[in-house]
Amino acid sequence: MRVVIAPDSFKGSLSAAEVGEAIQRGVKRVEPEAETVLLPLSDGGEGLVESLVEASGGTYHEFQVTGPLGAPVWAKLGLLGDGQTGVIEMAQASGLTLVPPDKRNPLVTTTYGTGELIGRALDLGCNHLVIGIGGSATNDGGMGMAQALGVRFLDGEGKELGSGGGELARLASIDVSGLDPRLAAVTIEVACDVDNPLTGPTGASHIYGPQKGATPEMVAQLDAALGNYAEVIRKDLGRDVETVPGAGAAGGLGAGLMALLGGKLVSGIQLVLKVLRFEEQVQGADLVFTGEGKFDAQSAFGKVPVGVGRICRGLGVPVVVLAGTVTLDSDVLHGEGITASFSVLNQPLSLEEAMAQTAELVEFQAAQVMRLWLHR
């Protein structure tokens, strides 16, 4: 029997790799001779580097870079087994978790460290970059990222701007002549699973600014600044990214990566599945396990279990989802290639108790699924 195990993380509890190992223990408890293939996944957010590095036999590389508030932080990137693909999570360098709640201010936070990570990946010889842009603390449109790579952002007097989204209100011109020339030969894919435009009521500032510390007044200021940024990009670079779905991701980093580095925004889970050659991995499998912390309506929009289900549906391979909670309608499940879904909870537990026992709960439920499967 061949079982492919391809879960996302249970955020705040277990990494995708740890979830996979727990499922594997449950499978082996019931069927010790089963061949198991572990493929920890990510939809482009937390765990992207780990997922792709572990599955490809790659390596981790840690560097000190500039954090969102300008202080140094340590961030790691992944070099995949092909030796040419670098994987970056922008949250490692510019993430919200790096900023204490009382210091969150998207007028000043910067993506400079993300640009430094890109430069480090170029130093490693990468000609293909995969960049996950979830979890940002920033609203600077990727200006800091580009500044780290040699782009100059100038005000009306030709003076360079400082850091943060607030500075974009003064932007008058963009000079890309100093952009790192190595980028011309690099393909950049951006894992993005939101469709927010850069500006407006559904844009970066209005939707995500408040969670990054923006007051209503700051939201209006930031939105206007990004509008000015979009106009200068149109004028100086001849690109219109303001209304492109995903341009508003990570405080406009999506727009910056497209306009300044030629990046392509793609579905995070589809990108991960492509890089891992997932369809090849599940050819001939008898059963696939996947899962995430909460399997709900949002899961239907580009999350790991549905991405797995859609591929397996075409191959006729059954898929079982294990999750902390399951609220997605069963009709939706079957239409997306999911055979069945189960909560791992086996008794009344508080959230804290459940999170402390997640590994054991996942292992137990995986074993129950295996018993049912083998005696169907």
123 in a domain, yes or no?
Answer: yes
Do residue 146 and residue 293 come from a single domain? no
Residue 89 shares a structural domain with residue 142 = yes
Residues 31 and 70 in one domain: no
The pLDDT value given to residue 330: 67
pLDDT of residue 218: 97
The pLDDT of 143-166, averaged and rounded, is 97
What pLDDT score does 257 carry? Answer: 98
Quickly list DSSP for 138-177. --STTHHHHHHTT-EEE-TTSPBP-SSGGGGGG--EEE-T
275: in domain: no
Percent of the chain at pLDDT above 70?
97
User: In this predicted model, which residue has the larger pLDDT, 193 or 148?
Assistant: 148
Q: Which domain holds residue 301?
A: 2-41+280-374
Boundary of a domain, candidates 216, 243, 268? 268
The answer to whether position 287 is within a domain reads yes
How confident is residue 55, by pLDDT bands cut at 50, 70 and 90? confident
The number of folded domains in the chain is 2
- Asked, for residue 119, whether it belongs to a domain, the answer is yes
273 falls within a domain: no
Q: How far is the C-alpha of 7 from the C-alpha of 41, rounded, in Å?
A: 6
What confidence category does residue 294 fall into, taking pLDDT thresholds of 50, 70 and 90? confident
Do 37 and 52 share a domain, yes or no? Answer: no
Contact by Cβ (8 Å): 120, 182: no
Instruction: State whether 225 and 254 are in the same domain.
Output: yes
Would you state the pLDDT for residue 352? 81
Q: What pTM did the predictor assign?
A: 0.84
| pLDDT score of 268 | 86
| Phi, psi (deg, nearest 5) at residue 64 | -90, 125
Is 12 in the same domain as 92?
no
Q: Which of 268, 289, 308 is the last residue of a domain?
A: 268
Query: Is residue 129 domain-shared with residue 248, that is, in the same domain?
Result: yes
Nearest Cα residue to 265 out of 147, 79, 133, 87: 133
